[in-house]
């Protein structure tokens, strides 16, 4: 499934819990995603550990017995890193590190790390660094309160405190510095965006790895980096696209993910301005992914956070070439037929019922149904355009009419 290359991958174990709000199936799905994240970050998931529990242990996350299993496995199999699917507190991270004697990371760490590896431009690097500092700051404090509680105040002040205080000051200064740097670049970018005139702006949004960049490349004949790893794109690329004779701006930007660290959403606010200021969103979905409906919900949630939820949106269901329904046994009277058994036709009907004409089913890779895509986008962009410039109405006829004329030429 994953493209394994000949590079040495860090050997990791993955750890998740099964709780009341996270059943076994969900937990497996989350760990699948964590495995993909691990691979993207340069790691290999050697084994998974899960534990059923009411709530995670406040000190060590897992229970003592399970922790011992993990420790033994790590010792016997030369594992360098333990990755937890949920966010660990500073003290949990420390306690676990002391038991397992290896690097201890959580999902947020992992996502931040991938972003740091992938940031190409100085702008993206600055934003990631800011997110990392924001992640670190409360954890420095967490470490200190933890020590204070455990060992008492006396004797812990003096050098210990100064060290942490100094660390915190350094991190805080760094945050101010980075924020100022971002502010300057923001101003330049706002000017750039202003210079783009009144062209209609369309933004590709969606979960990571759904094919946004591939679609961008297909429709704009550009070369945006696309690959089967998470977060291939961190910077926003804007291209002028012309369908028939109607020009508009199409932007491709960072993908979303479930439990996207808030620090990242915050520091990537400016990158996401492209989405916030767009006239039309194309919400790209990977319909071949078994959890695509979950992904849609995560994306809508983040769009809500960045105030992009009420924009005109077309749902673009991509990768129809790769969609496969699971077989359903009609003779099994106990089995319940669910979405995973739907045919593509059934999905089409379901979504047409939900969003009417605003659902499209395409393959950006094998270029299926792109004509339909062009038509829908053309009509929508035209609608926005003529509302903005009523006197331009005659310039952009109906898509079919425009198409007919251009075919005659
Ligand atoms: N089978 C199939 N694969 C596709 C299709 N579109 C994209 N892909 C593949 O999906 C993977 C991810 O594509 P990208 O275009 O990088 O996805 P993205 O949404 O830009 O991802 P991020 O930038 O990481 O958020 C690549 O391996 C593509 O080749 C499609 O229509 N069908
Ligand atoms: Mg991309």
pLDDT per residue as tens digits for the range 348-405 = 999 988 888 889 999 999 999 999 999 999 999 999 988 887 766 666 667 766 666 5
- Separation of 137 CA from ligand 1 center, angstroms? 35
Closest ligand 1 atom to the C-alpha of 206?
A: 19
Q: Candidates 120, 214, 218, 264: which one to mutate for ligand 1, based on the most atoms within 8 Å of Cβ?
A: 214
| Higher-pLDDT residue of 389, 294 | 294
Q: Candidates 115, 218, 271, 365: which one to mutate for ligand 1, based on the most atoms within 8 Å of Cβ?
A: 365
| Higher-pLDDT residue of 318, 142 | 318
Q: What is the largest CA-CA distance in the chain?
A: 88
- Separation of 108 CA from ligand 1 center, angstroms? 23
Provide the pLDDT for residue 119: 81
Which ligand is closest in space to the CA of residue 260?
1
Provide the pLDDT for residue 232: 72
- Separation of 213 CA from ligand 1 center, angstroms? 7
Provide the pLDDT for residue 213: 92
Which ligand is closest in space to the CA of residue 237?
2
pLDDT higher than 80, residue 54: yes
Provide the pLDDT for residue 158: 45
Provide the pLDDT for residue 9: 83
Provide the mean pLDDT of the chain: 83
pLDDT tens-digit map of 248-288: 999 988 888 887 777 777 777 777 888 888 999 999 999 99
Question: Which pair of structure tokens corresponds to residue 41?
Answer: 């970050």
- Separation of 245 CA from ligand 1 center, angstroms? 28
| Higher-pLDDT residue of 124, 51 | 51
pLDDT tier, 55 (very low <50, low <70, confident <90, very high otherwise): confident
Question: Which pair of structure tokens corresponds to residue 335?
Answer: 């089995």
Give the distance, in angstroms, between the CA of residue 190 and the centroid of all CA atoms in the same chain. 24
Please state which of the ranges 20-24, 134-138, 141-145, 365-369 shows the lowest mean pLDDT: 141-145
Q: Which residues line ligand 1 (CB under 6 A)?
A: 206, 208-214, 226-228, 230-233, 255, 318-319, 321-322, 363-365
Provide the pLDDT for residue 236: 79
Question: Which pair of structure tokens corresponds to residue 238?
Answer: 């804007």
Backbone φ, ψ for residue 301 (5° rounding): -65, -45
* Sheet with 81-84, side-by-side order of all strands: 43-52, 10-18, 81-84, 103-106
**Looking at ligand 1, which residue's alpha carbon is closest to its atom 11?**
228
Please state which of the ranges 36-40, 45-49, 55-59, 222-226 shows the lowest mean pLDDT: 222-226
For 158, left (φ over 0), alpha (ψ -120 to 50), or beta?
A: left
């Amino acid at each position: 499934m994953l493209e394994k290359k000949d590079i040495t991958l860090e050997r990791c174990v993955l750890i998740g819990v099964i709780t009341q709000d996270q059943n076994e199936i969900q937990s497996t799905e989350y760990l699948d995603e964590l495995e993909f994240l691990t691979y993207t970050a340069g790691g290999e998931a050697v084994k998974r550990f899960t534990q059923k529990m009411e709530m995670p242990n406040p000190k060590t996350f897992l229970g003592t017995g399970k922790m011992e299993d993990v420790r033994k496995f790590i010792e016997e199999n030369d594992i360098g890193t333990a990755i937890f699917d949920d966010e660990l507190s500073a003290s949990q991270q420390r306690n676990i590190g002391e038991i397992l004697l290896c690097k201890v990371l959580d999902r947020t760490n992992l996502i931040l790390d991938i972003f740091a590896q992938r940031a190409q431009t100085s702008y993206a690097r600055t934003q990631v660094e800011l997110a990392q500092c924001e992640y670190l700051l409360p954890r420095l404090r967490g470490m200190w309160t933890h020590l204070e509680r455990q060992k008492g105040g006396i004797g812990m002040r003096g050098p210990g405190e100064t060290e942490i205080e100094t660390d915190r000051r350094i991190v805080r200064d760094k945050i101010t510095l980075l924020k100022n740097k971002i502010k300057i670049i923001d101003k330049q970018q706002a000017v750039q965006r202003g210079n783009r005139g009144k062209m209609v702006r369309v933004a590709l949004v969606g979960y990571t790895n759904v094919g946004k960049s591939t679609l961008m490349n297909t429709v704009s004949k550009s070369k945006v980096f696309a690959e089967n790893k998470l977060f291939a794109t961190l910077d926003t690329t804007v291209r002028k696209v012309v369908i028939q004779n109607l020009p508009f701006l199409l932007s491709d930007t960072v993908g979303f993910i479930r439990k996207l660290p808030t620090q990242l959403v915050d520091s990537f606010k400016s990158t996401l301005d492209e989405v916030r200021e767009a006239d039309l969103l194309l919400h790209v979905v990977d319909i071949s992914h078994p959890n695509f409906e979950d992904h849609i919900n995560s994306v809508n949630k983040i769009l809500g956070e960045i105030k992009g939820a009420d924009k005109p949106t077309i749902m673009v269901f991509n990768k129809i070439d790769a969609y496969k329904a699971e077989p359903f046994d009609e003779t099994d009277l106990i089995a319940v037929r669910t979405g995973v058994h739907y045919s593509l036709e059934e999905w089409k009907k379901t979504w047409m019922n939900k969003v009417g004409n605003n659902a499209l089913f395409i393959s950006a890779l094998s270029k299926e149904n792109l004509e339909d895509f062009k038509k829908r986008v053309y009509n929508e962009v035209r609608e926005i355009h003529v509302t903005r410039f009523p006197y331009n109405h005659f310039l952009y006829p109906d898509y079919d009419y425009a198409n007919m004329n251009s075919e005659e030429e």
